[in-house]
Homo-oligomer: A and B are copies of this chain.
Amino acid sequence: MATQNLDIPKIPEEIPSELAGLRMTKQRREVYSVLLHDKDHPTASGVFRRVQEGLPTISLATVYNCLDALVEHGLVNQVNFDREPSRFCVNQSPHVHFRDEASGVVHDIIFKDGCKITDLLNLPAGTEVTDLELTIRGKLPKVF
């Protein structure tokens, strides 16, 4: 099942030796780099396959470790659709994930300016939201 992104990504030339307090080992750098280049929400195995091209000796466990570390430090988002394998994308401006049922493609959807989802909800006053995940399934219009 392929995925793709509606936005055109910009790729930083160089990843520094430390990011967000996370030491950038060559494995982590390669994993992060794969996600920066291919913004199509790959699974851990997908990342593994691509990273192997540059680092043939890397292990799947390391890919999981690296993804965990990157997610932990806020550099990467972990996206879950139902119980399917987790998918990963670089963390950008807040966005939600839309899966087109016809093609299976996952698109990033951004909010309209100034819109906050929690404004719509009857949350108790004073509730502190630390994380929020919205996934949508549907059909895109013909033109897409």
Q: Residues of A at under 8 Å CB distance from B? A: 78, 80, 82-83, 86, 96, 98, 101, 109-112, 115-118, 120-144
Evaluate contact between A120 and B123: CB separation under 8 angstroms.
no
Q: A80-B80, A82-B80 are in contact. Are A129 and B123 (CB under 8 A)?
A: no
Across the interface, which residues of B come within 8 angstroms of A141, CB to CB? Answer: 124-128
Partner of A117, one of B120, B125, B139: B120
B137 engages A135 (CB within 8 Å): no
CB distance from A62 to the nearest CB of B (A): 19
User: In the bound complex, do residue B127 and residue A132 qualify as a contact, i.e. CB atoms below 8 Å apart?
Assistant: no
Closest to A110 in B: B122
CB-CB < 8 A to A122: which residues of B?
109-112
The 9 closest A-B pairs by CB, nearest first: A126-B141, A115-B120, A129-B138, A131-B137, A128-B139, A134-B134, A132-B136, A130-B138, A128-B138
**Least CB separation from A144: chain B residue:** B124
Contacts of A134 in B (CB 8 A): 117, 132-135
How long is the Cα–Cα vector from A115 to B127 in the complex, in angstroms? Answer: 19
The contact sample of 16 A-B pairs, CB cut-off 8 A, is A78-B82, A96-B121, A109-B122, A111-B121, A112-B121, A112-B122, A115-B120, A117-B117, A120-B120, A124-B140, A124-B144, A126-B141, A127-B138, A130-B138, A132-B134, A132-B137
